[in-house]
Structure formats: C-alpha cells, structure tokens
C-alpha cells in the first residue's frame, strides 16, 4: 500500500512523536509498503535561530520526507513542541495529498494544527490517527469547539497507552485501540562490561526533571563515583543550569545525538535515569534503554509505571532528590542484579515493543480501513 504519515512537528527538532513516525515508516517499508512522511522542516540560518533557541538537526530531510513549512514553539501539555502554524503549509499539504494519492493517511496527534487539522478537513482517503499525549490536555477546551468535530472523519483511532487513551477519550469519546510505541532494537546488546556512567536523555523542559537529577548529582557522584552524560538537551541551557546549581564534577553534556550515536551511548552505560515529573503517556526513552539491555531508574509516575517492572528497573518518588540518589546508588551497587535487569529489559522490549510486530498490526488496520 501507499501510506502517508502526517506529523504536525518539525523534522529538524527531535522528539518522541518524530522518532515514532520515523521508525514507523522504516518498519512499514520493511513490510513492502511505500511510505512518505509529511511534516515541518526548519533549515539552518538566522531565521531558524531566532525562532528556535534550542539545537536541532539542521541538515536536509531524507527523500521520503515531504516538508511543508517552518515551525514555531508553542507551549502545550507541559512541553515546548515545534508546531507548524503557517497558513502556507495548508496549501503545500493539499498539493502533497493530491500529488501522492495515498491509499491510507496516518495522522499523529490529529487534533494539532495546522497539518493534522487541515488533513482531516480536506483528505478524502481513509484516515488512521494515533493519540500520544496524556494529562488534562487543557488546550482542547479551545480546540474541541473549534475543530473537534473533524475527529468524526477518522476511520480508526489508536492510543499509545491506556493513559493516552483515557486522555483522548475524555475529549473525544469513541473506540480506540492501544498500540504501544515501538522501539529501535539493536542487533546485539550485552548488559555486562559497561562504562561506569549513567545517561539522561530528553529536552531541557521542567517536566523532564533534569533539574532534579542535577540537584541530586553531587551526592550520587560522591557515593558512586559515576559519570553522568546528558543527551538531547541544549548544551548551553544545561551548562547555565549547572552554573546556577554550582555543579561541575562528573557531568558530560553531549547535546542532540543522531539515532546511531544515542544507541551507542545506551549500549555502553550502566543505567538510564528518567526523572520526569509527569505528563508522560508512555516513556519511549525507557523502552529505548531496555532494548539496549540498559536498566532504568525512573520516577514513579503514570505512563512510566506501564513500562517499568521490578525486573527491568527501579522507581523513586518524582521530584525527591534524596530518593533519586538512593535509587541510583542501589542500581550501581549491585552489579549482578543490574546485569540481570538489563537482560530482562531487552527481552521485554523484544517481546512487547519490537517494530516488526507493531508494523504488522498497523498493516492489518490499514487493510481494514482501506
């Protein structure tokens, strides 16, 4: 089949939904489908630097990506996504849909303007949607009266977790199927012989809890002697936060990393630390770590509880720096248990979150709606 994936965010700035859509496209191609992704793109230059204070991947999108316009930062659900709001993007979207003539169109976060809303309004092909967000979704107070009726045009609704399903159904009642986020699983991962370090991965946003980890880090460093590597967050903003907290020792700030480089980091670390404060519907970074046989130290919040079991990671009370330090120390102090958790985590990721099986589920849905 010929499948179009519509993402309301920018290819240039990494995030969970962008990663999901890219891996989804790759997995569907592996099954023989023809797949193209319609999304934003912010080319390098002064204008992009003005609109986007954080670093991104400012190269050329791959050939299978159809860029339809620049993005802007819009606060939503405790995060700062890069959403395409340009009116011109609607005309480029329309031209792409007319030219490509997809058999099925798959929208991610379908209630997000402008690409998804425009697709719901003008697309005549069968449409499938995946809902990712969880929480109150307060912006839907305005979105539902304005364009919520367009959700009736969807032929099939997917949620990435039970939390995401409940959040979506609160505003848009209907039938949903839970299809979890898939994860990139490297061919091999050995939980032994790891470097004495832990990894944080995520944007520098309050809900991701990096400030909690940094506040706890001097004590973690004193007890364990481990090194922390910070991936994904803007290096300048991280260093400013470190300066404000007067923290210097044992932290390496790596910034944005390509997929392969990030996988290498996970394959060589002893643990991933995810100190998010809330607003996580699933926690795709957790499954990325598990797929690399890297156990997880995560805050005990909804969304993360759906992924982490006692066999694959340890949890602590969100926002509690003392509990975070104790939990990281417990993870690193028992190497045999840490290795067992890593092996169990990889088995869990292969069994539950492998993209091959998820792509087959999506293919069955596409055949049904088409």
Q: Are residues 267 and 134 in the same domain?
A: no
Q: Are residues 227 and 326 in the same domain?
A: yes
Q: Are residues 77 and 67 in the same domain?
A: yes
Q: Is residue 67 in a domain?
A: yes
Burial class (CB in 10 A: 0-12, 13-18, 19+), 46: exposed
Q: Is residue 306 in a domain?
A: yes
Mean pLDDT value of segment 229-239: 91
Positions of E strands within the chain: 2-10, 34-40, 65-67, 72-73, 82-83, 104-108, 127-131, 156-159, 177-178, 197-201, 227-231, 251-255, 271-274, 296-299, 313-316
The pLDDT, as a whole number, for residue 286 is 95
Distance, in Å, from the CA atom of 281 to the CA atom of 176, rounded to the nearest integer, reads: 15
Read off the pTM. Answer: 0.83
Q: Are residues 301 and 243 in the same domain?
A: yes
User: 147 is in which domain, residue-wise?
Assistant: 2-182+354-369
Q: Are residues 134 and 235 in the same domain?
A: no
Which of 62-76, 171-185, 198-212, 222-236 is predicted least confidently? 62-76
Q: Are residues 7 and 125 in the same domain?
A: yes
CATH of the domain at 18: 3.40.50.2000
Q: Is residue 190 in a domain?
A: no
Q: Is residue 188 in a domain?
A: no
Mean pLDDT value of segment 160-172: 92
The pLDDT, as a whole number, for residue 111 is 94
Residue with structure tokens 């903003």?
237
Q: Are residues 105 and 244 in the same domain?
A: no
Q: Are residues 80 and 217 in the same domain?
A: no
At 80, is the pLDDT very low, low, confident or very high (cuts 50, 70, 90)? low
The pLDDT, as a whole number, for residue 39 is 96
* Longest distance between any two alpha carbons in the chain, whole Å: 61
CA dihedral for 292, 296, 302, 307, sign (positive or negative): positive
Q: Are residues 251 and 103 in the same domain?
A: no
Q: Are residues 287 and 141 in the same domain?
A: no
Tens-place pLDDT, residues 269-323: 999 999 999 878 778 899 999 999 999 999 999 889 989 999 999 999 999 999 9
If you ran DSSP here, which 8-state letter would residue 139 be given?
T
3-state secondary structure of 38: strand
To the nearest 10°, the Cα dihedral for 50, 53, 58, 64?
-100
Q: Are residues 147 and 64 in the same domain?
A: yes
At 188, is the pLDDT very low, low, confident or very high (cuts 50, 70, 90)? very high
pLDDT for residue 58 is more than 80: no
Distance, in Å, from the CA atom of 192 to the CA atom of 290, rounded to the nearest integer, reads: 14
> How many domains is the chain built from?
2
Tens-place pLDDT, residues 309-364: 999 999 999 999 999 999 999 999 999 999 999 999 999 999 999 999 999 999 99
Q: Is residue 187 in a domain?
A: no
């Amino acid at each position: 089949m010929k499948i179009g994936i519509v993402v309301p965010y920018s290819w240039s700035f990494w995030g969970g939904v962008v990663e999901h859509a890219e891996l989804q496209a790759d997995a569907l191609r592996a099954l023989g489908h023809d797949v193209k992704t319609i999304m934003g793109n912010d080319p390098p230059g002064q204008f992009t630097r003005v609109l986007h204070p954080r670093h991104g991947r400012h190269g050329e999108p791959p050939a299978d990506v159809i860029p339809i316009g620049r993005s802007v930062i819009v606060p939503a659900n405790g995060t700062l996504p890069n959403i395409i709001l340009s009116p011109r993007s609607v005309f480029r979207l329309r031209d792409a849909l007319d030219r490509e003539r997809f058999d099925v169109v798959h929208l991610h976060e379908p209630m997000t303007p402008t690409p998804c809303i425009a697709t719901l309004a003008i697309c005549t092909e069968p449409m499938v949607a995946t809902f990712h967000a969880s929480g109150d979704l307060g912006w839907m107070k305005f979105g539902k009266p304005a364009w919520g009726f367009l959700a009736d045009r969807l032929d099939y609704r997917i949620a990435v977790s039970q939390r995401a399903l409940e959040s979506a159904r609160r505003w848009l009642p209907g039938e949903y199927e839970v299809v979890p986020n898939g994860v990139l699983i490297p061919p091999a991962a050995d939980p032994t012989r790891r470097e004495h370090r832990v990894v944080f991965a995520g944007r520098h946003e309050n809900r991701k809890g990096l400030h909690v980890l940094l506040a706890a880090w001097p004590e973690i460093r004193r007890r364990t002697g481990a090194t922390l590597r910070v991936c994904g967050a803007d290096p300048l903003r991280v260093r400013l936060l470190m300066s404000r907290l007067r923290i210097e020792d044992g932290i390496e700030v790596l910034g944005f990393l390509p997929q392969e480089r990030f996988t290498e980091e996970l394959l060589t670390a002893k643990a991933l630390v995810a100190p998010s404060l809330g607003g996580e519907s699933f926690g795709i970074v957790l499954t990325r770590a598990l797929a690399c046989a890297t156990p997880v130290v995560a805050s005990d919040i909804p969304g993360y509880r759906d992924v982490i079991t006692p066999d694959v990671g340890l949890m602590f009370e969100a926002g509690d720096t003392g509990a975070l330090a104790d939990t990281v120390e417990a993870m690193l102090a028992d190497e045999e248990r840490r290795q067992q958790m890593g092996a169990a985590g990889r088995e869990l990721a292969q069994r539950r979150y492998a993209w091959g099986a998820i792509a087959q589920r999506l293919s069955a849905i596409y055949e049904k709606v088409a």
